[in-house]
Chains A and B, each alone.
Chain A
Amino acid sequence: MPKPAKKKKAPRSRAGSGHKGLAAHDHRLGASELRRIADKIFKLSEADETEVDVSAVTSALTRFANNTIHQNVAEQGIAISVRAVVDGRTARASTNKTDEESLRRVTAAALELAQVQPRNPALLPMLGPQKLQKVDRFNAKTAAATPADRARAVTRVCQMADRQKQTTAGIFSTGLSEFALANSRGLFEYYQETRAEFSVTILEKDSSGWAKATSARIDEIDPDALAERASKKAADSRSPREIPAGKYTTILEPPAVLDLVGFLFYDFAGTCVHDQRSCFTGRMGKKLFGENISIWDDVYHPVQLGPPFDGEGVPRQRVTLVEKGVPVNLVYSRATAKEMKAKPTGHGFSLPSEDGEAPFNLVFSGGKASTEEMIRSTERGLLITRLWYIREVDPYKKVLTGMTRDGTFLVENGRVAGAVRNFRFNQSIIDMLANVEMMGPAVRASGEESFDMVVPAMKVRDFNFSEVTKF
């Protein structure tokens, strides 16, 4: 069970040992270059108002399987997106070509697209300069990581798997991105971020284990520790037996919680409620979850990533979405806020967008229980490492289906009593969050079905497993 990130002392990195200051792999263009591109476009534009997004990405990913590196890639690219407004109409055109002619063409294309569509009475004037809260999510060491750095870490993990007579597969990626949003009313906002990710699966003949972590700082990623955790899961889940499907008290580790509750994120959008397709439609202010469930959107949380402004440049606010089981607030873009008589929260998508807005930095209230305490307090239940292929079955009851994967265990009389075959579940997330008996501390969790969030491990009553698969 990972400890809460903000209390965790950063482990000494064994991954980025080749770092000696900024290396050739740091391909940042910088705020001034992104501003120069935007200024060029403003000069070329004949629109009433013009907005420019410029993003640049450098990333690399080392992929391993069967205890060897089998794919190893790097990319570098820029994207320039121009939004034109003319006579109450707006549209967007994009390119990755930075020569004068291409910039001229993309600027003209945005204007031409805008001119041929119906007027949008809800379109608001662009914003002027905004005051932003600073966030620091760029780590030079992460940006400077080399293919050899990643290969060294992966080689150690492959050697560990060899020693354990196990098979490993996974990825180690590092990268940086920078983004500038500028408009012809003088707004200019810049954000840069680094990202490191290590994900590992360890396989045996009839079992598997998995672990994953992401961070802006490569020093906070410990590939060896993650591989050891996955290795132990694989060993512990040997010889799974089949037990019947049914409703079980279930202990969900943070990645499993994340991939379920991640499906709620768009339900918190004002547009989603306005369109009457949110599970919160008609339910705002009513008790829906347990008293122990509170949820915020908080881009400023110390382990979150992401820019402190939205697609129109509105500063992001910390928003309480659920308080003691009651959904109390939604997030709003500027246009949705006007439509729904609310205030913009800084969560709008780039325009034009029919989807409005969404919170991407969810933080759940946690508890103090360890996973071991959850196991000790369970007479009969299941312990779940990870979930897979989750899809929505009923959007209003918020019933999701999916599978368990990479470590599913039976808990009996307060201890783990061996591995069991994987289950299919059909479970309402609303019901699940009304049935949470214990929670661990909220940590930055990373899965495969949702973007990363800050969530706790949970012990829930009556989780509905509907069928069993063959392994």
Chain B
Amino acid sequence: MKSWANLAIEKALARRASYADVRVMDIRHRDLSTKNGQVGRMSEGESLGLGIRVIADGAWGFASTDRLTVQGVESCVDEAIAIAKASAMAKRHDVVLAPEQSFVDTWQNPFIKDPFLIPIETQIAVLLRADAEMRKVKGITLAEGSMSFRKIDQLFVSSIGSAIHQTKMQSGAGIVATSFAGEEIQKRSYPNSFGGQHMLRGYELIEELDLVRHAPRIAEECVALHSAAKCPEGKRTIILDSSQLGLQIHESIGHPIELDRVLGMEANFAGMSFLTLEKLNSLRYGSDIVNVVADARLAHGPGLGTFGYDDEGVPAQCTPIISSGQFTGYLTNRETAAAIGQSRSNGTMRTEGWNRLPIIRMTNISILPGDHKFEDLIADTDDGIYMETNRSWSIDDRRYHFQFSTEIGWEIKNGKRGRMIKTPSYSGITTEFWNSCDAICSRDYWTLWGTPNCGKGQPMQTMGTGHGASPARFRNVKVGIASSD
């Protein structure tokens, strides 16, 4: 890896690049799935290549290749230089980067069991056992399970002298029960919807999830949803489970704080942000108890947004995003930090792979725990709805107005959890919603969720992000709007 990276840097500097950085990445994956007692997907793969980013004539160029020969790498550098010179045709000013030190380091996330050394038949057997448990429940028409594993071995080398070798091991799994009856399709997922839970951990995560034990419960809940009550319409107190709150954070805090969005760089596709620059340190984002951080450090947990260094060589950091309800920080890179007069990037440049340009991405965007026990939170609620496990999500292109629905809910009356509610939904305006938060559960109920499928950029890049959350209560929220009636 190192010889190809050094060759690329040398060649770029010889071609008069004023700055260059190279990522050589070797990505290995294993994906398994089952459906109704049969193996669905079973594949393994690897992808090795190199991407180089240069500044030449004051403008950016990026090119990538998997032809790792002297000729292939040199041709790739030539392409990056030619692209930078083309970029310079429409430049307004030269690219300016916030200063950064050089680092020579290695980093690896800890894990106990290498998932690629676990026999594939063992992994398939777990999914098939969970599948069988779900299908034992009368009314289940579809049982599905999946596991996925990634090992990313990457070397970052830059023209300021950094050489950083990182290895990330990622594991994830989930199961879904679906029931079709009458005019309705219901589903329940464990431990989360849309692929389950994913973390920077080894196979020990899959063992801890214990898919087989939870399979009967979600299957029974799925069938019961057909006869559950409809979600009422109107303003209600709601309590969100930690996984749904994690997605709420992702959509209504994580994306709007991306400084490239704020500065208009994503306007054509992902959109912009309501968090315009004058709002930094002046906007009341949430209530006094809302504290949110962007924390990529391992100390925060082995989330999908955890790393040693970002993909432009900046060390992992913890940035306060919302402090006692006040908006205090954006996600930045070296270029955007300089653009708003900040002295250093807070390290959020990430790339999907060797063939993609690093862009600002969420790291672990987490709400810090409060002090409530979950049981006390329910007991303290006279009239509300507890909502669990996301089913659909949508938010406008400036991140003001959102609508979410969950797979299942329960009515809360006089401090007690009551009847089941099918597909509960809620909607609102971001800052009004976070200002209505009046209780957050404690560290005992806090989970660092992994969202493996966050899309951003052109060409689109899919990235894993982390979101720590514990159940929380929100007052006076509009519910039941998700219907075409």
Contacts and interface: CB of A to CB of B under 8 A. Distances in A.
Nearest to B61: A72
A71 B266 CA distance: 11
**B38, B43, B128 — which one has the most chain A CB atoms within 10 A of its CB?**
B43
Given A155-B90, A277-B180, A203 B64 contact: no
B162 interface: no
Interface in A412-471: 422, 424, 426-428, 431, 448, 464, 466-471
Given A61-B458, A63-B458, A427-B484, A68 B83 contact: no
Interface stretch (B96-104, B107-115, B268-276): B268-276
A354 B144 contact: yes
B481 A467 contact: yes
A158 B87 CA distance: 12
B397 A399 contact: no
Contacts of A69: 59, 86-87, 89-91
Given A65-B264, A66-B264, A391-B392, A117 B42 contact: yes
B459 A201 contact: no
Given A72-B86, A147-B82, A389-B397, A117 B63 contact: no
Contacts of B35: 275, 354
Nearest to A61: B459
B43 A117 contact: no
**A75, A155, A170 — which one has the most chain B CB atoms within 10 A of its CB?**
A75
B79 A74 contact: yes
A403 B394 contact: yes
A92 B91 CA distance: 46
Contacts, number: 284
Contacts of A468: 401
A397 B423 CA distance: 13
B235 to A, nearest CB: 13
A116 B89 contact: no
Contacts of A397: 183, 484
Nearest to A25: B79
B393 A391 contact: yes
Contact of B403 (A154, A395, A396, A401): A401
B92 interface: yes
A419 to B, nearest CB: 16
Contacts of B263: 65-66
Nearest to A355: B40
B341 interface: no
Interface string A83-126: 00000000111111100000000100100011011101010000
Interface string B259-290: 00001111111010010000000000000000
B126 to A, nearest CB: 13
A469 B92 contact: no
B159 interface: no
Contacts of B49: 77, 96
A77 B267 contact: no
A249 interface: no
B249 interface: no
Contacts of A113: 42-44, 120
Given A77-B355, A97-B46, A354-B41, A393 B66 contact: no
A389 B46 contact: no
B89 A422 contact: no
Nearest to A389: B394
Interface of B: 33-36, 38-49, 51, 59-67, 76, 79-80, 82-87, 89-92, 119-121, 124, 128, 141-142, 144, 178, 180, 183-185, 263-269, 271, 274, 355-357, 359, 391-398, 400-401, 403, 405, 423, 425, 427, 429, 458-459, 481-484
Interface of A: 59-79, 81, 91-97, 106, 109, 113-114, 116-118, 120, 122, 146-148, 150-152, 154-155, 158, 167, 169-171, 173, 199-201, 203, 208, 210, 275-277, 281, 352-355, 388-397, 399, 401-403, 405, 422, 424, 426-428, 431, 448, 464, 466-471
Lowest 6 CB-CB distances: which A-B pairs, in order? Answer: A354-B40, A147-B86, A94-B45, A469-B401, A169-B267, A276-B180
Given A91-B43, A118-B124, A147-B87, 13 more contacts: A60-B83, A62-B87, A73-B83, A77-B49, A94-B47, A113-B42, A117-B42, A171-B458, A276-B180, A277-B180, A397-B183, A401-B392, A424-B427
